[in-house]
Structure 1
Amino acid sequence: MAAAPFDARPLTEPVDRAAVRAHTRNLRALGQVPTNRNVFLIVVIVFMAVVFANVFGSVIVAVFAAVFGALGEGQWSFVPFLALVPVIFVIAVFVAVGVFVFRRMLGSGEKWYRLDRFARANGMSYRPVLASPPLPGMIFGQGHSRQALDMVRGDRPRFVEFANYRYTTGSGKNSTTHVWGYVAVKLDVPLPHIVLDATSNNTLFGSNLPSTFDRAQRLSLEGDFDRYFALYCPRGYERDALYLFTPDIMARFIDNAAALDVEIVDDWLFLYAKRDFSTLDPAMWAWLFSVVGALLDKLEQWARWRDERLRADAAAAARSAAASAPLAAAGVDPVPGGHAAVPFETPLAALRPPPGVAAPGRRLRKGVPWVVTIIFGGIIAFWIFTQFGGFALLFGGLFGGFSP
């Protein structure tokens, strides 16, 4: 993030069309945006128009001929021109497609140009498209056709990336494209996998997140935090979560990020929402910058966290290093048994664990959505009901009293 004042003018001020076109050509030359998408769209639409004209052209001519014929014999002089109806139709489609594609290309190029200038004005960089971004967050491993769009990145005082994200589930007519916006913040050290599921964006069916986590990992925090977020952390890491989410940090998340879902995984902090973040709306950017700015100065204390479960590994590594050190140069002979007879040793019990997270804390355990549980429970109950003659008993009880 830049230390300079927030500058949103490039998002709204007038632009030079020639500069927009030059910028778009440069992006295409660098391979940062697709080059054949609009051409393919034109070919498909024109092909469909030609097929339509060939199939329905004779019908259209016949209809027009019947209409003009009903008007009287004097109107039949227009009939030869009816053969031009399919041609006129195809020409109209060409013009409509050309206008549509031109506006679409111009609109995309202008957006790329504005966001690029906005990023530069705020000490950041811009990239229009990146396929399958290599990030560990939960939304990045879902579906197929994954794309990060309109990425705005900064690296001061730490790496931050704002972007829109798309992935598709299913295929053909049953495919669904999922829309997300995310902010990725690089942390100083890896931390336990923690998810803050914002309660404000949940639906009737529960969380809007693409992953469900085992409810046994739910941790209740003090104050009003549970009203805004459901916090999940790996079993055994409850004390670590309390260390990371001190009252002042909880207050920052409540005041600034209550509308966002949050994920901490490896050495990344992600903020999610099911809408685009990287837009031409200055208010959206002002809000996102304020959220990140409010959190950044509190993240530095997380750099001091260490996983105590790695202390034994650090002690073993220190012993191994001491035993295999080149003692001959120091004039010290190893004691029989392999341990070095050195005049001093590192106090292994006082060693600080290295940065990192032990295996149990690296990923949360997945759970099953309660809706799925209810559906499968209903199916099993129905099967048991039918296997034991439930319908016969039910209908026998209902209609038994009517038998003669």
Structure 2
Amino acid sequence: MARIRSHLRGPREREAEEYRLARFAEANGFTYTTGQLDPERSAVLFGVGTSRVVSDLIEGVTPRPFETANYSFDTWVGRVRMPRAANYVSFELWGGLPAMTIVAKAPPAAAWEPPAPQERIRIEGDFASRFEVFTARATEEAVRHLLSPEAQAAITAVAAQCDIEVTADRVFVIARRQLPMAEPAYWERIADLASLMTLLEARGRGDRTAAFEGADLGRRTRREALFAAPRVARAAVVGCLLPLAIGLAAAAVLTRIVVG
């Protein structure tokens, strides 16, 4: 797996993260795979570029079937190689949603193109200042109905820096950078995203939707920290994540030693 890249700085840090994620996955009944070359997924992202590699792939069934991983690939401008990185979470859909792509305006890296025949549709309000929405003409009204003010607020709360693609039976939430998967806040974020999926499905069925818990200030602060630029000091993390029931009470022990 020499082609696998990581946001970590050296082999010792990489080995420590693999160990912690493997222990975490085992404790929670998930499966952990160190890496996967040329992954095939239904989102457009996985057909872009060359040297496509998934790293730290974790799959589970709670709170709904999901998989998450960091991802790297290369794009080219002439003969110049442009390394790209992403992180994704995908969830299995329990109810039908119209195929669509929601593209965040905030991340600095350029987004990949939504799949044909999707085209940009007009969305009113503050949501339009943060996201662009694409879908086929045949599903435009269904997407407008789905993106109620409550749904827009929930997406903004938990995925403001991410792109979202709905395919036939899955939803992909894609960050245009790698994220620290060994952090407890990462898994709290996955719980919030799972709640978002439930809200969107309820909206798609026409059910009444409740207030979205992911808007809590503390959770929002921890989510934003995941996307913050790395600190100058390098932190070595000792120990492993304790069993974490996503969507229930979470427990984790992390001891940090600043070494530089």
Superposition TM-score, scaled by structure 1 size: 0.44
Displacement of 1:132 in angstroms is: 2.0
Q: CA deviation at 1:114?
A: 0.4
1:257 corresponds to which letter in structure 2? A
Aligned to 1:226: 128
Structure (1 or 2) with the greater strand fraction: 2
What is the letter of the counterpart of residue 258 of structure 1? Answer: A
Counterpart position of 1:298: 199
List per-residue Cα deviations over 1:27-54 (Å, max 9, x = no partner).
xxxxxxx3xx49xxxxxxxxxxxxxxxx
Root-mean-square deviation (Å): 3.0
Letter in 1 for 2:66: V
CA deviation after TM superposition for structure 1 residue 155, in Å: 0.9
Task: From the superposition, tell whether residues 250 and 171 of structure 1 become closer, same or farther in structure 2 (CA, over 3 Å).
Answer: closer
CA apart distance, 1:276: 1.1
Distance 1:128 1:267 in 2: 25
The answer as to 2:143 corresponding to 1:241 is: yes
Is the Cα contact below 8 Å between 1:162 and 1:277 reproduced in 2?
no
> 5+ unaligned residues in a row in structure 2: which ranges?
4-8, 207-260
CA distance in 2, matches of 1:125, 1:135: 18
Of 106, 122, 132, the residue aligned with 2:38 is 132
Aligned-pair identity in percent equals: 29
User: Matches of 1:216 and 1:157 in 2, distance apart?
Assistant: 30
Q: Number of matched residues?
A: 201
TM-score by length of 2: 0.66
Answer whether contact 2:118 2:136 (CA < 8 A) is retained: no
CA distance in 2, matches of 1:187, 1:216: 20
Residue 185 (str. 1) matches residue 91 (str. 2):
yes
Partner of 1:90: none
* Alpha-carbon distance in structure 1 between the residues aligned to 2:172 and 2:122: 21
Instruction: Compare the two structures and name the one with the higher helix fraction.
Output: 1
Residue 181 of structure 1: how far off its partner (Å)? 0.8
Task: Trace 1:43-62 onto structure 2 (pairs within 5 A).
Answer: none
- Find the residue that maps to 1:201 and give its secondary structure: coil
Amino acid at match of 2:148: T
Matches within 5 A, 1:138-149: 138-149=44-55
Shift of 1:187: 0.9
Structure 2 SS opposite 1:256: helix
Tell me the amino acid that sits aligned with residue 238 of structure 1.
E
The residue that corresponds to 1:211 in the other structure is 113
Residue 112, structure 1, aligned to residue 8, structure 2:
no
In the TM superposition, residue 179 of structure 1 has moved relative to its aligned partner by: 0.7
Judged with a 3 Å threshold, the aligned counterparts in structure 2 of structure 1 residues 290 and 179 are, in CA distance, closer, same or farther, namely same
Q: Which shifted more, 160-169 or 240-249? A: 240-249
Give the distance between the partners of 1:145 and 1:216, measured in 2 at CA.
Answer: 27
Which residue does the alignment assign to 1:252? 154
For residues 245 and 171 of structure 1, what CA distance do their matches in structure 2 show?
36
For 1:36-90, what per-residue CA distance to the aligned partner results, in whole angstroms no more than 9, with x for missing partners?
x49xxxxxxxxxxxxxxxxxxxxxxxxxxxxxxxxxxxxxxxxxxxxxxxxxxxx
